[in-house]
Structure formats: C-alpha cells, structure tokens
Amino acid sequence: MDEELAICKKVLPFYSTRHHLIPVLQELQSKIGYLPEKVIVEVSRHLRVPASDVYAVASFYDQFRLQPLGRKRIAVCRGTACHVRGAPQILKRIEAMTNLKEGETSPDLEYTLETVGCIGCCALAPCVRVNKEVFGEMSPERVAELFDVFGEEDGNA
C-alpha cells in the first residue's frame, strides 16, 4: 500500500465522527506535509463525511495545504519592521534565484517560497525563516549565503 494511505490507516482509527474532521486533517497534514486528494477521500470514507465537504473545509483554512511543500520552506517576513528594512527587495531576490513566485513550490519539491506576517524577532529585521531556522539581518546580497548554507548541509544547493 502506498505510504500516505498507510499513514491514514494508522491515524484514522483514533477518530470517528464528523466533529473530528479538523483535528484529523491537522494530524494527517503534520505527518504527510499536505493533504493529497486520496487522503481527503480516505478521511471522508472513515468519518462518513462527503469528500466534497472535507475538501471544502480543507480549502477554507489557510493552515491546510492541498499541494505538497518543498523540503525547504523559505518564509520571508513581511512584518512592519522587516518591511521597512527591505523585505520586498529580499523577496524579489529570492524569487529570482529560485524562479518561484510567492506561494509556489518548485517542481522538484526542493523549495517552497512563502511570506509571513511576523516571525516575532523584529530586532533582527529583516528576517527569513528556512524551515525552523531563522536568518536575521538579511540583505539582498546575503540571500545567496542562504543557499550556500543549504548546499553545505546536504550537498545539493
């Protein structure tokens, strides 16, 4: 059986009714990274909720992703502090380097580029977060460094 359905098989027995819909989706997303259609169908089957309804809920909340994420989630902070200290230029630079627009994921699933409201470390503005690591006092020039760091980490910049 494929991996995502195997995860469903493990997670779903702990839930039973329509009221569990959001927690189920949260848990499955945390394990799979996003909510593929077959997972939505599986949830629908298990909770006895029409698949279109499950999809409607998943598409309503920003926290649910219907597309897979890249292995490296680059989040450019667009909070006020970061904005005034040059976040737009940084975003533009990253867009150019990755060939992605905000909200997109590269076809090889390497990078996802997103923006966030505020990461909560305005003293380090402008900030970029990559997965769980925050890089402070960024500048367009230093953006390249980010990619160097990734390269060193797993050898495929």
Partner 1 sequence: MERIDLLLDGKQVTARSGMTILEVALENKVYVPHLCHHPELKPAGVCRLCYVELEGKGPVLSCRTPAEAGMVIKTRSPLVDEIRSGLVELLIADRHDDCPSCAKKGRCELQKIMGYLRVNKKKARRLRFAEGALEPDTSNPFFNLDPNKCVLCGRCVRTCSELLRINAIAIIGRGYRSKVAPLGAKPIAQSSCESCGECVERCPVGGLVYKEYKRPEKHVLTVCPYCSSGCRLTLGLQKTEIVSAQGERLCARGRFGWRYIYAPDRITAPLARTEGRLVEVSWEDAIRLAATHFARYRGEEIAVVVSAKCTNEEAYLFQKFARSVLKTNNIDNTARLSHAASLEALWEATGIGAATNSLEELEDAACILMVGANTARTHPAAARKVKEAAEKGSRLIIVDPVENDFRRFAHLWLKPYPGTDVALLMGIAGVIVEEGLLDLGFVEERCENFEELRGSLADFPLGRVERLTGVPREMVAEAADVFARSKPAAVLWSTGVTQYLHGKDTVCALINLALLTGNVGSSSAGLHPLLEQSNAQGACDMGCLPGFYPGYQPVAGEGVREKFEAAWKTELNPEPGLAFTELWDAILDGRIKALYLVGANPLTELPGGYRVLESLERLEFLVFQDLFLNETAGHAHLVLPAAGFAEKDGTYTTADRRVQRLRKVIEPAGRSLPDGEIIRRIAAAMGATGFDFANPAGVMEEIASLVPGYGGIGYEKLAEGALVWPAGTAVLHKQAFHRLTSKAKLFPLDYQGPEERPDVEFPLVLVTRRNAPYYGTCAHKVDGFRKLAPGEYLEVSFKDAGDLGLGDGEEVKVISRQGGLRVAVKVTEDPPPGVVVLNYNLSQDPGKALMRREMRACAVRIERFL
Residues that bind partner 1 (CB under 8 A): 1-2, 5, 37, 40-42, 44-45, 48-53, 55-56, 59-61, 66
What is the side-by-side order of every strand in the sheet holding 128-130?
111-116, 72-77, 128-130, 133-135
Q: Give least dist CB 114 to partner 1, A.
A: 17
Q: Give least dist CB 5 to partner 1, A.
A: 7
Burial class (CB in 10 A: 0-12, 13-18, 19+), 132: exposed
Q: Give least dist CB 50 to partner 1, A.
A: 3
Q: Give least dist CB 123 to partner 1, A.
A: 33
* Pick 22 or 66: Cβ nearer partner 1: 66
Report d(CA 59, CA 118) in Å as an integer.
23
Strands 133-135 and 128-130: antiparallel
| Helix 37-47 with 21-32: angle, nearest 10 deg | 150
State the residue for tokens 């597309």. Answer: 67
Report d(CA 45, CA 106) in Å as an integer.
31
- CA 129 to centroid of chain Cα atoms: 12
Q: Give least dist CB 112 to partner 1, A.
A: 20
